[in-house]
């Protein structure tokens, strides 16, 4: 069974940092791209970042470029999102998703709250 389990969310002040993790199981992790998607409270979905299966190519939304870094450890079947210089508008539920072009499997999300 394909499973994605996010962790690492929490409360942080503006300018702070967090690292999110996503543990994958049930599929050959290294062969799939992975994406992060977020959803602010009461709002729609916003794609944040993606990384190719080998980790050699990464992509970012303009809203996070230069502040967030996506990475993966294929030996641990784990995806990461390093978030620096966090802003109030980064407050959201962050999902990782298996990126098979369409996002065909999603985790349950980890909540990030940026407050002053």
Partner 1 sequence: DIQMTQSPSTLSASVGDRVTITCRASHSISSWLAWYQQKPGKAPKLLIYKASTLESGVPSRFSGSGSGTDFTLTISSLQPDDFATYYCQQYHSYSYTFGLGTKLEIK
Q: Is 30 helix (H, G, I), strand (E, B) or coil?
A: helix
Q: How far is the CB of 62 from partner 1 (least distance, A)?
A: 7
Torsion over CA of 43, 67, 106 and 103, rounded to 10 degrees?
A: 90
> Which lies closer to partner 1 via its Cβ, residue 4 or residue 114?
4
Mask 22-51, x = binds partner 1 (CB under 8 A)?
-------------x-x------xxxx--x-
Measured distance CA(53)–CA(18) in Å, rounded? 23
Measured distance CA(89)–CA(63) in Å, rounded? 10
Measured distance CA(14)–CA(26) in Å, rounded? 36
> Which lies closer to partner 1 via its Cβ, residue 44 or residue 66?
44
> Which lies closer to partner 1 via its Cβ, residue 6 or residue 114?
6
Q: How far is the CB of 5 from partner 1 (least distance, A)?
A: 12
| Interface positions with partner 1 (CB under 8 A) | 35, 37, 44-47, 50, 59-62, 95, 101-109
């Amino acid at each position: 069974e394909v499973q994605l389990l996010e962790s690492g969310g929490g409360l942080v002040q503006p300018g702070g940092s967090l690292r999110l993790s996503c543990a994958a199981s049930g599929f050959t992790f290294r062969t799939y791209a992975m994406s992060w998607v977020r959803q602010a409270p009461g709002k729609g979905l916003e794609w944040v970042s993606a990384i190719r299966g080998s980790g050699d190519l990464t992509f970012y939304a303009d809203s996070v470029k230069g502040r967030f870094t996506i990475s993966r450890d294929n030996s641990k079947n784990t995806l990461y999102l390093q978030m620096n210089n966090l802003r109030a508008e980064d407050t959201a539920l962050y999902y990782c998703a298996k990126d098979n072009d369409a996002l065909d499997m999603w985790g349950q999300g980890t909540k990030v709250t940026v407050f002053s």
